[in-house]
Amino acid sequence: MITYFLNFDPFGYAISPVSLVSVSLAAWFYVRGLARSARIRGTVSVWRQALFFAGLTCILAATNAPLASLGHSLFSVHQVEHLLLRLAGPLLIAVSQPWRLLQAGLNRRWRRYLGALGKSFALRFLAHPVTATAALITSLFIWQIPVLYGLAQRIAAIEVFAHFAMVLAGIWYFGLLFDPRDPPEGARRGARLISGFAVIVSNIFLGSLTTLKEVSLYVSYQTAGTGLLDPLSDETMGGYTIWVPSSMLMIAAIILVMNGWNAAEVRRWNLRYGLVRGSNSAALEFPETAEELRLKVAEPNRDMGRTLAIGALVMFLIVMTTVVTIVYAL
């Protein structure tokens, strides 16, 4: 009975009922939230709505034909699926900031439940940048282990679970990364940048190992090939997908984080200006000369510079370690 349930897949690789239902529910709650709250609807631009539905489209494209079917024959295509599920789709959804609309689409009972859940220790622990970053990196590495990868290829329920875990880890991570709130409600901006560098390093590490190896590791593709690529070349192309496009997406995410950091500083500056405007302390709080301005922004600039320098140093050290390891392994 359990074996039958695990392998139950009436539509094969062409259609994923779980993704269709999940995406449909998310779209329904989003549209319902727009319709219910005129105040929120007036503040949501068309491009943000388009980003949300583009993210849902990425999830659908990765879990249904033709990508899903080809992903069981080509390792490189399967890595494109993972890219869409773990990074591209969640990034687009998180940038659109749909959380208030999705919450508005729920009934009152569920809204109260989510409000209570948001105050729990477990959720605060999961919302820490280290925890969210570890979850995203783990969702990449654990499902590349050949044994687990093969199980997900053969057993439909495990594959659904793997894809679901990737999407949740991605949405959770990028939701934290693009949170417009300042500390203590939101994570520190510097921690967000460092976490972005850490994800890039993990992509480079696993991608380079997968690309530069000289043996094929994934047995299922050695017997289910399409004839278009030999297994080793296929896995090499998949390694490039993990390495380059994934890192480029994370670089775009880091740029968005820095833009959000700048916007937060502008908001803070405008707020302080509004509080002291017209008072005697305004001249002290808001400099007029170049020297006064330099002194005022020196500390924030040093914080950002230190964060970027640490991130660049960590990335350099990991890349060099990876290169040395590969050279000695070969």
Is the model more confident about 82 or about 156?
82
Q: Using CA atoms, how far apart are residues 149 and 158, in angstroms rounded to an integer?
A: 9
Most confident residue range from 2-6, 80-84, 216-220, 286-290: 80-84
Going by C-beta distance under 8 Å and a sequence separation of 6 or more, which residues neighbour residue 319?
Answer: 201, 204
Q: Are 81 and 67 a contacting pair, CB within 8 Å?
A: yes
DSSP structural state of residue 143:
G
Q: Using CA atoms, how far apart are residues 32 and 30, in angstroms rounded to an integer?
A: 5
Q: How far is CA 261 from CA 204, 256, 297, in A?
A: 26, 9, 14
Q: Indicate the number of domains in the chain.
A: 1
- What 37-42 contacts at long range (C-beta under 8 Å, 24+ apart), as own/partner pairs, is 37/100, 37/101, 37/104, 40/100, 40/101, 40/104
Indicate the Cα dihedral angle 24, 27, 33, 36, nearest 10°: -70
∠ CA 234-226-8 to the nearest 5 degrees? Answer: 100
Q: Are 160 and 16 a contacting pair, CB within 8 Å?
A: yes
Helix 290-329 with 231-276: angle, nearest 10 deg = 160
Tell me how crowded residue 147 is: count the other CB atoms within 10 A of its CB. 8
Q: 3-state DSSP call for residue 287?
A: coil
Q: Using CA atoms, how far apart are residues 68 and 180, in angstroms rounded to an integer?
A: 35
Is the full-model pTM beyond 0.85? no
Please check the confidence at residue 92 and state whether its pLDDT lies above 70. Answer: yes
Encode pLDDT of 284-317 as tens digits: 555 545 455 555 555 665 666 666 666 666 666 6
Q: Are 141 and 82 a contacting pair, CB within 8 Å?
A: no
Q: 3-state DSSP call for residue 99?
A: helix
Task: Work out the end-to-end distance of the chain between its first and last CA atoms, rounded to an integer number of angstroms.
Answer: 47
For residue 263, what are the domain limits?
A: 2-329
Please check the confidence at residue 280 and state whether its pLDDT lies above 60. Answer: no
Q: Using CA atoms, how far apart are residues 177 and 198, in angstroms rounded to an integer?
A: 13
Encode pLDDT of 14-25 as tens digits: 678 889 999 999
Q: How far is CA 303 from the centre of its chain?
A: 24
Q: Are 250 and 196 a contacting pair, CB within 8 Å?
A: yes
Percent of the residues in the chain that have a pLDDT greater than 70, as a whole number? 70
Going by C-beta distance under 8 Å and a sequence separation of 6 or more, which residues neighbour residue 78?
Answer: 71, 72, 238
* Amino acid found at 51: L
Percent of the residues in the chain that have a pLDDT greater than 90, as a whole number? 32
- Half-sphere exposure of 258 toward its Cβ, with a 13 Å CA cutoff? 15
